[in-house]
Structure 1
Amino acid sequence: MDEVVARAPARRNVFVALLVVNLMQLALWGPQLVQDPDPLIGVLVAFLLVSALFVGAALLVARSVALVLDNDTLRLVRRWRPLVIPRTSVRAVRGSVPGRPSWSDAVLLDVDGRTVRLPTLEPSPAILVPRLQRWAGVGEAPVDGVT
């Protein structure tokens, strides 16, 4: 059974703010272009239209990152470069500040000879580190031969 244990914080506010600014500028420069067909204003309005379309499209297709656990795998579900880590590969789970998950800003997984840094997720590392340690059956220090 899949369980979503964390999600990336929403960053849609930036897209909404950009879209509002673009539409306000279009409302300002559009009538100016109609009254005075200056080529420079035409280029500005065209740029604003294209920019508003790109920001609107980004708003529509923006997906958040999710950390999903099941019995055997940890999956980081995201649009680009999804990550799948088998439970048996996890050797240690810790925060970016050793011994202090509440001070940490990221979760680090030691996985078969490499360290994987998870992106910023909610809830914080103070909650995620113990949760992932229980799921993997490991601690902060790398352990060989964990099953």
Structure 2
Amino acid sequence: MADLDVLFDAARRVQAKAYAPYSRFKVGAALATADGDVFIGCNVENAAYPVGTCAEAGAIAAMIAAGAGPIASIVVIGDGEALVTPCGACRQRIREFATAGTPIHVAGPEGIRRSFTLDELLPHSFGPDNLADTTR
């Protein structure tokens, strides 16, 4: 798995490339697989607000497009004083490709601010295992 410093640096670099002309709130994400592959994503806004894309969604899409996975660790970086945790939809996206114990690190420009497990951010979640045996 990739080093946490590598993930932080990758998330910080891609954050600068975010397309956020409306909110001016740039977010970057970098995730690692158990094989050490790193995938990045940034938020991409759209004038029709609901069709924007979160940074985490972009990183997950890049991972899937490369035929990689599952997620072993993820860093999400945003500016401001408050923690920039994944939104509800992204928590569910992460859940699709991670385990309850997968670490999610929340960062600001100065570094990692706090770390959570997926289960802490999305307790009692619904995921692929809920649909594993639907033949009964």
The interval holding the TM-score normalised by the smaller chain is under 0.3
Output the TM-score relative to the length of structure 2: 0.23
Instruction: From the CA coordinates, give the structure whose radius of gyration is larger.
Output: 1
Output the TM-score relative to the length of structure 1: 0.22
Would you tell me which structure has more helix in proportion to its own residues?
A: 1
- Relative contact order, higher structure (CA 8 A, sep 6+): 1
